């Protein structure tokens, strides 16, 4: 394998020498260029009002990635930086996964593909709005389909869980995350792993649900470690 620079991500990506994977890599790069040029929520919104600011789609992926982090949508800091999870929630998520920043942002190993690629704005109370509803139906499956080496999908939050689990998502996020053993043992490939959002606003949830740190996190860290170290 050799390293090359992806024209779509600006990041180093690994070229395998395998025609199928390399073809997917070229296809993915072209697809991500289209994602980053998307202006549907501003110019032709189909689900709610017009996005009130210039879109800035934030997505990171390479065809060799074996882990996918599917979150919600960029917040204000990520909208400014163009880099996902550059905030306290990112620090918490990296701690949950047991990996450092270099590994987290290595697109050859980990793809970060939120349900909404652009910052959706805030409501009157200053809380982030849900992901734009135009985004996932337009782009989500197309990105995932171009990641042929995925082994593990981390579904961060209810939006990602409803999309990627379908009828197997429970009535609430708490119930879905609590069912993580059944979900990860369902035999799907890649394996789906439901998680709450790592926002510090969820600190109360974490204190009430001590099983998350005691039971789920050790299993999650072991799975992630096995995958990132296998290369």
What pLDDT does 17 receive?
52
pLDDT above 60 for 11: no
What pLDDT does 126 receive?
76
Structure tokens at 34: 């289209």
* Residue 207: exposure state from Cβ atoms within 10 A (0-12, 13-18, ≥19): exposed
What pLDDT does 13 receive?
40
Give residue 19's pLDDT band: very low, low, confident or very high (50, 70, 90): low
- Tell me the CATH number for domain 2-230: 3.40.470.10
Q: Residues 6 or more apart from 46 whose CB is under 8 A from it?
A: 40, 133, 134
φ/ψ region of 69 (left if φ > 0, alpha if ψ in -120 to 50, else beta) reads beta
- 153 compared with 77, residue with greater pLDDT: 153
Q: pLDDT tens for residues 141-164? A: 999 999 999 999 999 999 999 999
Structure tokens at 44: 């032709």
Give residue 200's pLDDT band: very low, low, confident or very high (50, 70, 90): confident
Q: Is the dihedral of CA 221, 200, 156, 169 positive or negative?
A: positive
Give residue 127's pLDDT band: very low, low, confident or very high (50, 70, 90): confident
- Cα separation, 79 vs 68, in Å, equals 20
pLDDT above 70 for 16: no
- Cα separation, 193 vs 10, in Å, equals 28
Task: Give the pLDDT mean for 120-149.
Answer: 91
pLDDT above 90 for 5: no
Q: pLDDT tens for residues 167-199? A: 999 999 999 999 999 999 999 999 999 999 999
pLDDT above 90 for 46: no
Global pTM exceeds 0.85: yes
What pLDDT does 222 receive?
98
Give residue 14's pLDDT band: very low, low, confident or very high (50, 70, 90): very low
The closest alpha carbon to 97, from 71, 76, 74, 118, belongs to: 71
């Amino acid at each position: 394998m050799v390293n090359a620079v992806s024209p779509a991500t600006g990041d180093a990506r690994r070229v395998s020498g395998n025609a199928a994977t390399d073809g997917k890599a070229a296809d993915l790069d072209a697809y991500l260029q289209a994602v980053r040029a998307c202006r549907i929520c501003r110019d032709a919104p189909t689900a709610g009002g017009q996005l009130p600011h210039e879109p800035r789609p934030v997505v990171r992926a390479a065809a060799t990635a074996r882990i996918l982090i599917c979150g919600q949508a960029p917040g204000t800091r990520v909208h400014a930086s163009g880099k996902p999870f550059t905030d306290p929630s990112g620090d918490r998520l990296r701690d949950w996964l047991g990996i450092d920043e270099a590994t987290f942002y290595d697109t050859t190993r980990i793809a970060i593909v939120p349900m909404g690629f652009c910052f959706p704005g805030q409501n009157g109370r200053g809380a982030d709005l849900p992901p734009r509803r135009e985004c996932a139906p337009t782009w989500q499956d197309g990105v995932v389909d171009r990641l042929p080496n995925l082994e593990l999908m981390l579904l961060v939050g209810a939006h990602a869980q409803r999309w990627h689990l379908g009828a197997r998502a429970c009535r609430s996020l708490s119930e879905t995350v609590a069912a993580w053993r059944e979900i990860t043992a369902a035999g799907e490939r890649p394996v789906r792993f439901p998680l709450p959002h790592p926002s510090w606003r969820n600190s109360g949830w974490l204190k009430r649900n001590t099983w998350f740190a005691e039971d789920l996190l050790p299993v999650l860290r072991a799975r992630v470690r096995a995958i990132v170290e296998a290369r």
